[in-house]
């Protein structure tokens, strides 16, 4: 992909920005240093900067020409509660927190595009660069929207990308329609009757009951959901007991649920509740289910997906652009922006050696060689979308 001189010249700065962010990770809605860092860079480039949306969100606005058209480009800025194991010189300085998903890279890319757009001024309209907090856990996109993001910063369309170590370097992967799953969580508490491990007959063992619930949950996808409806039910945690001679009072099961179809989503909740309660009753116990609906499915719009595909083919070549045969089961709160405005979300590959660690791994590190690719693409996308008449 051809990289402009504006981006190439700024590459050392982009690497420095990315590594500074990597060394100072912050969790969702706590990205105070990150927010101030971003705002400072945007102000120096001449952007009108607004802070405080969703506590730590930042929007940089740049107007040029007379057109009323506008575009929004989003980068996520939060880190994860992971202890970093990369051993890098710029590794996290905060033990237990890490940029293990590449949001540091996404932010640096968009700041690179911010510089190029400000220097070139080769567009007619308004660019809103949206630096969103709390993508990982707290739905920062929805909070920004609820606080008036698109009323204050009107966008005709919105765009976002995510790096992907499982895709070849520089490959654009996109998809019209569903590209990311809805994600929900169920916390099942089995209420038993504790006692001495030597006298189980005097107890109601929530561990045995919980094990039965775990096994029964496996039948939902295989026996209750149509095989053509992508669905995942994952028991991610089972907490109970403290010693071999103690039967505990309760057990807690934590379940992750992913789907795309709203009707399937409803059926999953119904079946999980039914299984937990009925299985517990069969053991003479009681189960309560705390069911949390989280991010909705990420649904891309056709016109904007076609726009990104055509632009990527023109800039990177047809061999670097693929349409995904199926959506990812991962979730993304950019879904909420796509429910409010037309747009698309896509992936940009970073795999070079095949030894790259996956996202959310303690050894993951964003590939800095991808910075100019992302920065250049965002620049070209904004300029193409807001092309001069």
pLDDT at 51: 98
With bands split at pLDDT 50, 70 and 90, how would you rate the model's confidence at 182?
A: very high
% the chain with pLDDT above 90: 96
In a shared domain, residues 305 and 160: yes
In a shared domain, residues 264 and 208: yes
**101 is annotated as contributing to ligand binding:** yes
Using an 8 Å Cβ cutoff, are 344 and 306 in contact? no
Q: Does the pLDDT value for residue 129 go beyond 80?
A: yes
**209 is annotated as contributing to ligand binding:** no
Place of tokens 């927010």: 35
- In whole angstroms, give the CA distance from residue 79 to residue 90: 15
Mean of the per-residue pLDDT values of the chain: 97
Which of 247, 265, 294 is where one domain is finished? 294
pLDDT tens, 228-237? 999 999 999 9
Q: Are strands 172-174 and 321-323 parallel, antiparallel or unpaired?
A: parallel
With bands split at pLDDT 50, 70 and 90, how would you rate the model's confidence at 6?
A: confident
In a shared domain, residues 289 and 350: no
Q: What is the rounded average pLDDT of the residues 198-219?
A: 98
In a shared domain, residues 157 and 277: no
Q: Is 229 exposed, middle or buried (0-12, 13-18, 19+ CB in 10 A)?
A: middle
**361 is annotated as contributing to ligand binding:** no
In a shared domain, residues 327 and 211: no
pLDDT at 296: 96
In a shared domain, residues 273 and 337: no
**103 is annotated as contributing to ligand binding:** yes
**136 is annotated as contributing to ligand binding:** yes
In a shared domain, residues 231 and 138: no
Chain center to CA of 264 = 22
Which of 294, 329, 345 is where one domain is finished? 294
In a shared domain, residues 327 and 362: yes
In a shared domain, residues 115 and 187: no
pLDDT tens, 337-347? 999 999 999 99
278: CATH: 3.30.70.360
Torsion angle, alpha carbons of 317, 318, 324, 328, to 10: 0
Total domains present in the chain: 2
Catalytic residues: 78, 135
Q: What is the rounded average pLDDT of the residues 215-238?
A: 97
Which of 240, 268, 294 is where one domain is finished? 294
Tell me, yes or no, if the pTM score tops 0.85: yes
With bands split at pLDDT 50, 70 and 90, how would you rate the model's confidence at 275?
A: very high
% the chain with pLDDT above 70: 100
In a shared domain, residues 216 and 340: no
- Structural domain range at position 344: 5-180+297-386
Q: What is the rounded average pLDDT of the residues 175-204?
A: 97
113 closest CA partner among 386, 389, 383, 385: 383
With bands split at pLDDT 50, 70 and 90, how would you rate the model's confidence at 137?
A: confident
């Amino acid at each position: 992909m051809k990289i402009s001189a504006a981006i190439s010249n700024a590459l050392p700065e982009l690497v420095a920005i990315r590594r500074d962010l990597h060394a100072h990770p912050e969790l969702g809605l706590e990205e105070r240093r990150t927010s101030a860092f971003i705002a400072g860079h945007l102000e120096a480039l001449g952007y009108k900067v607004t802070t405080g949306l969703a506590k730590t969100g930042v929007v940089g606005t740049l107007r040029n020409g007379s057109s009323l058209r506008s575009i929004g480009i989003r980068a996520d800025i939060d880190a994860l509660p992971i202890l970093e194991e990369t051993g890098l010189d710029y590794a996290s300085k905060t033990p237990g927190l890490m940029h293990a998903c590449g949001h540091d890279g996404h932010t640096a890319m968009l700041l690179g595009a911010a510089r190029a757009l400000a220097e070139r001024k080769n567009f007619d309209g308004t660019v809103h660069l949206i630096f969103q907090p709390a993508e990982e856990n707290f739905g920062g996109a929805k909070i920004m929207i609820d606080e008036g993001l698109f009323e204050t910063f009107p966008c005709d369309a919105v765009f976002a990308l995510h790096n992907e170590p499982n895709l070849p370097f520089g490959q654009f992967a996109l998809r019209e329609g569903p590209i990311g799953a809805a994600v929900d969580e169920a916390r099942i508490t089995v209420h038993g009757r504790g006692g001495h491990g030597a006298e189980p007959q005097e107890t109601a063992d929530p561990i045995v009951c919980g094990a039965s619930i775990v096994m029964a949950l496996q039948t939902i996808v295989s026996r209750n959901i149509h095989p053509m409806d992508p669905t995942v039910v994952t028991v991610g945690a089972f907490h109970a007991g403290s010693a071999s001679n103690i039967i505990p009072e309760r057990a807690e099961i934590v379940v992750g649920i992913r789907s795309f179809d709203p009707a399937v989503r409803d059926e999953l909740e119904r079946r999980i509740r039914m299984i937990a309660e009925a299985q517990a009753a069969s053991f003479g116990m009681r189960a309560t289910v705390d069911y949390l609906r989280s991010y909705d499915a990420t649904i891309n719009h056709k016109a904007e997906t076609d726009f990104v595909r055509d632009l990527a083919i023109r800039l990177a070549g047809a061999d670097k652009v693929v349409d995904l045969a199926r959506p990812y089961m991962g979730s993304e709160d950019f879904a909420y922006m796509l429910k409010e405005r037309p747009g698309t979300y896509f992936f940009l590959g970073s795999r070079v050696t095949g030894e790259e660690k996956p996202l959310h791994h303690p050894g993951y590190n964003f590939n800095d060689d991808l910075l100019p690719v992302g920065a250049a693409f965002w620049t070209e996308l904004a300029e193409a979308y807001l092309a001069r008449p």
